[in-house]
């Protein structure tokens, strides 16, 4: 082989000195110390982790047992029906909640866009949106919705709606700031009134993107609606809370399977529509072309 001459020549060229690794090492040590400190300060009873391996298998077996039973015989049919019913309630909550959030977020989005509103309005609106974003839906539900709407899915729905305003408003504002100024100028030049400019020059340009955000938020809200059930605001979370309280592992298995199946299905449909909206925002022929190109 030609290896020996190559190494002979390469020993002659001075190799650049390796950069010092001291800084990287220090960062790693610091991270390890922080991690160790956190593991200690978290008050976690680490010895109980064995429960995951001992009980875990037993419970998993019980859950799977519930799944393989004939779903059309009593009592299993009832479990499946209840789980599907409650999961659908969660989907409804997420849908209506997202819709409420979407409608409220439109004016907020316009007011928070620098190329639409004045600097003071933008700052104020952004502060409100950040505030909403920082407060979890759960807190909205506890503070405002439960006392007003009582326990039940409506409280959860409104909480999801208010919670969605923060992110949707911010994303809408960012989309508005990224538009092409050409149509705006054209509309102004043709003497369009302010409202017409907003509707036909701004809104038309961002509509596909914004609707895609709404759908994406809908997917997120399906998961969030499960959380709200825990405090009694309806949906599949309420059922899960009860079942875990009673340790009904077979029924838990069925409910979790329903949650996974429905979530994956809704994600697939909503994701498909989102891609179609984003890719097919132009004319039909162009859209199909783009789609086949991306396949």
Partner 1 sequence: MSAAAPTAPASRVVRPRKPRPSRLLIGGLVVAAAFTWWAGHSLGFSLRPLIENWSNGWVVIEQFLHPQWSFVWRVREAWVETIAIAIVASGVGVILGLVFAFMASRVTDRSTGLFRATRWFLSVLRSLPDIAYVLIFVALVGIGSLAGILALILFNIGIAAKLTSETIDAVDSGPLEAADASGAGTWARARWAVMPQITPNYLSYCLYIFELNIRSSVVIGIAGGGGIGQVINVQFSRFEYENVAAITVALFVVVLLIDQLSQYLRRRFV
Q: How far apart, in whole angstroms, are the C-alpha atoms of residue 219 and residue 239?
A: 20
Q: Which of 230, 278, 279, 290 binds partner 1 (CB under 8 A)?
A: 230
Alpha-carbon distance of 92 to 103, in angstroms, equals 17
Between 128 and 230, name the residue whose CB sits nearer to partner 1.
230
Asked if 128 touches partner 1 (CB under 8 A), the answer is no
The verdict on 49 binding partner 1 (CB under 8 A) reads yes
Does 35 help bind partner 1 (rule: CB under 8 A)? Answer: yes
Residue 121 token pair: 């309005």
Stretch that binds partner 1, among 113-121, 181-189, 198-206, 233-241 (CB under 8 A): 233-241
Question: Which CB, 8 or 134, lies closer to partner 1?
Answer: 134
Residue in the block written with tokens 């982790």 = 49
Tokens 């969030």 correspond to: 224
Q: Are 225 and 265 in contact (CB under 8 A)?
A: no
- CB of 272 vs partner 1, minimal distance in Å: 12
Task: Figure out which of the listed residues 26, 29, 30, 44 binds partner 1, where binding follows CB under 8 A.
Answer: 44
- Where does this chain touch partner 1 (CB under 8 A) — which range of 13-21, 104-112, 127-135, 171-179? 127-135
- Residue number with CB closer to partner 1 (88 or 117): 88
Question: How many CB atoms sit inside 10 A of residue 81's CB?
Answer: 12
Q: What's the burial of 137, exposed, middle or buried (CB within 10 Å: 0-12/13-18/19+)?
A: buried
Interface with partner 1 (CB under 8 A), residue from 69, 92, 104, 106: 92
Q: Which is nearer to partner 1, 116 or 238 (CB)?
A: 238
Task: Confirm or reject binding of residue 285 to partner 1 (CB under 8 A).
Answer: no
User: Among residues 59 and 203, whose Cβ is nearest to partner 1?
Assistant: 59
Binding flag, residue 30, partner 1 (CB under 8 A): no
- Pairwise CA distance, residues 285 & 257, whole Å: 40
136 binds partner 1 (CB under 8 A): yes
* 263 binds partner 1, rule: CB under 8 A: yes
Please give, one letter per residue, the 3-state secondary structure of 161-177: HHHHHHHHHHHHHHHHH
Q: How far is CA 225 from CA 53, 100, 187, 252, 269, in A?
A: 30, 14, 42, 18, 19
CB of 182 to partner 1, least distance (A): 19
3-state secondary structure of 41: helix
Residue 150 Rama label (left phi>0; alpha psi -120 to 50; beta)? left
- The separation between the first and the last C-alpha atoms of the chain, rounded to the nearest angstrom, is 46
Footprint of partner 1 on 138-177 (CB under 8 A): 138-139, 142-144, 147-150, 152-154, 157-158
Q: At what angle do helices 50-68 and 249-279 cross, to 10 degrees?
A: 80
- Interface with partner 1 (CB under 8 A), residue from 224, 233, 239, 254: 224
User: Interface with partner 1 by CB under 8 A: which residues?
Assistant: 31, 34-35, 37-46, 48-49, 51-52, 55-56, 59, 88-89, 91-93, 95-96, 99, 131, 134-136, 138-139, 142-144, 147-150, 152-154, 157-158, 223-224, 226-227, 229-231, 234, 237, 240-241, 244, 247, 256, 259-260, 263-264, 267, 273, 283-284
């Amino acid at each position: 082989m030609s290896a020996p001459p190559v190494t002979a020549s390469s020993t002659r060229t001075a190799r650049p000195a390796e950069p010092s690794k001291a800084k990287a090492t220090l960062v790693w040590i610091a991270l390890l110390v922080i991690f160790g400190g956190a593991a200690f300060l978290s008050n976690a009873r680490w010895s109980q982790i064995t429960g995951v391996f001992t009980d875990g298998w037993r419970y998993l077996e019980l859950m799977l047992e519930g799944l393989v039973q004939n779903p059309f015989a009593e009592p299993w049919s009832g479990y499946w029906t209840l789980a599907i019913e409650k999961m659908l309630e969660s989907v409804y909550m997420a849908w209506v909640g997202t819709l409420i959030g979407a409608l409220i977020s439109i004016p907020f989005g316009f007011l928070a866009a620098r190329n639409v509103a004045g600097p003071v309005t933008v700052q104020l609106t952004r502060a409100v949106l950040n505030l909403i974003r920082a407060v979890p839906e759960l807190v909205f539900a506890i503070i405002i919705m439960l006392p007003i709407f009582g326990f039940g899915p409506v409280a959860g729905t409104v909480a999801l709606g208010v919670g969605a305003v923060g992110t949707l408003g911010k994303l809408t504002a960012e989309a508005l700031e990224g538009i092409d100024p050409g149509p705006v100028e054209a509309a102004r030049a043709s003497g369009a009134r302010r409202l017409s400019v907003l509707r036909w020059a701004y809104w038309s340009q961002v509509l596909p993107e914004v609707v895609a955000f709404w759908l994406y938020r809908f997917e997120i809200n399906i998961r969030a609606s499960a959380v709200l059930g825990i405090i009694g605001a309806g949906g599949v979370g309420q059922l899960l809370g009860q079942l875990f309280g009673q340790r009904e592992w077979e029924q838990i298995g069925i409910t979790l399977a329903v949650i996974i199946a429905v979530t994956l299905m809704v994600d697939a449909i909503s994701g498909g529509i989102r891609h179609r909206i984003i890719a097919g925002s132009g004319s039909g022929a162009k859209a199909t072309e783009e789609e086949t190109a991306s396949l």
